[in-house]
Structure formats: C-alpha cells, structure tokens
Homo-oligomer: A and B are copies of this chain.
Amino acid sequence: MRSDLARIVGEQYVLRDAAAEWTQDASIAMGLRGHADAVVLPGDAQEVAAVVAWCYQRGVAIVPRGGGTGYSGGAVPAPVPAMAGPEGTVVVALDRLDRIRSFDPGLWRMEVEAGVTTQTVARRARENGLLFPVDPGAAEQSQIGGNIATNAGGPHCFKYGVTRAWVTGVEAVLAPGELVRVGGPTRKDVAGYDLVGLLCGSEGTLGIVTSAWLRLIPAPPAAPVPVVAAYPTVDAGCAAIEAVLACGVIPATIEYLDAGALAAAGPAFPGGLPAGAQFLVICEADGGAEEVKELIEAMGLDARAHEPRELWRWRDGVGIAVAAAQGGKLSEDIGVPLDRLAEGIVGTVEIGLRHGLDACSWGHAGDGNLHSTFLLTPGDHAQLARAEAATEELFDLAVSLGGTISGEHGLGWLKRGQLAKQWAPGALAAHRAIKGALDPAGLFNPGKKAP
C-alpha cells in the first residue's frame, strides 16, 4: 500500500509511522482514537483523485482530513476493524492543498484549495475591505475543506448564514476517483441538482472537496459592537432575546451563557460581571450607532457596549474555561426552535442532575444552537458512562422540542446511528440511498454521517 501511494504523492508524503495526531481530532478529549494503515498528503487535486482511485479499486477506506478541529470524530478513522475498508484505511490529509487559486476583491470572490485555513480566507478578505463571515472556533487551524465538509457555523452565522451560503462552487473527487467541478464563480446556477449543497455537510462520506469558490461581501459599514447584558434567570434572558428579535435590527450574533457556563467563564469576563448574573446575552450590531442603541433598548437598561476584540477573545475561551472546571467535559451541539430555547437550556441542567452530573450550556441563542455540556473528571469511567447516557436523553430532548441532534458539529463517529432519533424511516431511506448512489462501495469515511 505505502509504496503504491508513494508513487502517487511522493515518498515523503506517505507517513509511515504516522503520529497519533493524524488519526484523531478535537474529539480526543473524549478519548476517541482511530486507526489508519497510511496517512497521505497529496500535493494537488489530481493526486487526491489518484489516491481515491487507487483506494476505490482495492477496497481501501478513505478518510479525508482537514484541520482536525471537529468535535464529533468526523475526521477520525473508524476505531473498529468492522468499519474499516476490507483492505484497510488511508487518511487523506488536505494540508498541502493550501493555494489561493484566485482572489478578485472587486468581484467579491475567491477560489481556494481545501487546505487553506479559515483564518487565511477571513484575513485576506478583511485586508481588502471584504467579509468572509463564517467563523467556527479554531479558525487559525480549521480548513475551508473541513468547513465545507461540516457546513460549519459560528456566532456570526445568525445574520450571515452557515458555510453553504458562501460557497458557489466546488471541485471534488467523487467515487471511484473522478475529479469534477460543480458550480464556480457564477453566483446563481440551477442547471443541475444541488451537488454543492449535498457535499456541504456530508463529512467526507460522499467525496472529497479539493477546492471551493467562495462568495464574499463588503465589510459591514460600521465596526461591530457587541452589546452584553446579564439577567437573573433563564426566562428573563430568553425574553430579552425575543425583545431583540422584535426591535427591527438584525444582530450579527445573538449568543448566550447560562449560569453554569458563567460560573466557569464569568470570572474572566472583561471588566467583571454584575453580581447575581445567572444568564448572559451577547448581541452584536454591525450596522452603526442606531443599531447599538436599539439593541441596548431591547436588552434592557443594564446592557452595555463592549470592545469587540476583548469580548470575543473571552467568548472564544468559554469552552476551555468550562472544560477546566472539573478537568473535562462532554459537549454537544443540539439545535432547537428559538421559542424552545429556554426548555433546552433548563432541560440540559435537569438531565445532568438526573445522572449526577454538573451540566451547563452556552451557544448561538439566535440560531437555537446550544452547546449543552456535562462536566467530567478525567479518568472517571463511571461518570463518563453516565454522561453518555445523559447525552442520549439530551438528543431525545432536542428532537422532542422539534430540533436537531446537531446544529454545527455533525454526525461523526461519536454520533453514528443517531440520525434515526430525528428522521423518520422514509427520510433515513433517502439518506441511505444517496450514500449508496455516490459511494456504492461504502469506502468514503465509513461510519460517519451514518443513519
């Protein structure tokens, strides 16, 4: 296997004794490790196609890999032999596909290879007065290919939409090793089925995206101003969120933290939090002073504008602060309709209580997207088992509220089989039929996104 692959990508790009980091992602915090027979780093799209063709001919599973920042094990090769290909597993890391193929600021567009980091795209856009609004965590490490594979979100997706909204075309390798292009720099295209959308969020189970045409927009006319207010209860906070929705402004973000998240992350809040804060709402206005004023009015008299860099640096650290509380955490990303947000937040804590676990949540309130989290002590296996049982209840809660088991992270290895909680048999059958149609041998990222 390795010598054949070396003939395609060059010997130095087949990692013989691949370090563990190539077979894990951010889900290593949950202890998930995969197994691969080889890790290859193709240098361009043609090499990706050749590697896929080689694997597909021989029954070797193909696990595409971006920045490895995913939380659900989407980039982790299946840890059990039954889910590997009949002839093994190859990790295909896109790191070397890191070229910006074209950038036309005046036309609001950029074509980038899959391995370009999210931050690079955002920075190049910003330097030219433009905005690429997709902002999942770990932007300096996450790659556009992974953003597309997971249809990544982030705080600013409330106003601007998730990754799919910013991709007008992709180049991708489909089974059995065909390099195809669908869409491109053209902004509208209804000639064929929406293959671009289908690949977005497919977690590498239908093919490998090797480059993408991205749409950009002019940077907002005003500097973004986060407005923050604290509330004594979940209900008061959620009522404030609904008041924001009624005020006529489209906030760039509507974020929240509940009492448990504040207990962990609150002490580091820039300038300190008011005493008695049990729920925090962060809305950002990027349309000027009038919008800031209207947000403050809607959020209540204690709402205050904040310096954005400081505020977002703090916000980016919330997950780490929560994990630090007891040393570990099991964090999910359920989504619920906005009017069920309070039930999702309170329900998370109640589920934790029933299982003897400290629980909290924070996240993208405007999108109804909760990072529901159970705190863990590393090495406590009984506690971990309770947390896994609690997670099942959490998914049931999300579905019973009319929501989703995953608003952002996707169904990697950790959530395999869970889609059946949410989709009826007829929809699951369609899901399976699509997988079978585009990956008849079942070699693209086995076990992921599996109903």
Contact = CB atoms under 8 A, between A and B. Distances in A.
B436 A190 contact: no
Contact of A436 (B195, B242, B246, B437): B437
Interface stretch (A25-33, A256-264, A323-331, A361-369): A361-369
B201 A407 contact: no
B129 A248 contact: yes
A191 B332 CA distance: 12
Contact of A184 (B108, B158, B182, B402): B402
The 6 closest A-B pairs by CB, nearest first: A178-B426, A197-B197, A437-B437, A433-B437, A185-B337, A189-B404
One complex includes copies of this chain to the number of 2
A218 B402 contact: no
A174 B408 contact: no
Residue from A206, A338, A339, A424 with most neighbouring chain B CB atoms (10 Å): A338
A192 interface: yes
A406 B218 contact: no
B107 A337 contact: yes
A427 B338 contact: no
30 contacts: A106-B245, A107-B338, A107-B339, A158-B187, A164-B197, A178-B429, A180-B424, A180-B430, A184-B402, A185-B402, A187-B366, A187-B369, A188-B364, A188-B404, A188-B408, A189-B404, A190-B406, A191-B404, A191-B410, A191-B418, A192-B422, A193-B201, A193-B434, A194-B197, A194-B200, A194-B201, A195-B430, A195-B431, A197-B198, A218-B249
Interface in A334-378: 335-339, 364, 366-369
Interface of A: 104, 106-108, 129, 150-151, 153, 157-158, 161-162, 164-165, 174, 178-182, 184-195, 197-198, 200-202, 206, 217-219, 221, 242, 245-246, 248-250, 287, 290, 335-339, 364, 366-369, 402-411, 418-419, 422-427, 429-431, 433-438, 449, 451
Contacts of A246: 106
Q: Which of A162, A185, A337, A426 has the most CB of B within 10 A?
A: A426
B419 A187 contact: no
Nearest to A366: B187
Contacts of A191: 404-406, 410-411, 418-419, 422-423
A104 B369 CA distance: 19
A97 to B, nearest CB: 19
Contacts of A431: 192-193, 195
A433 B423 contact: no
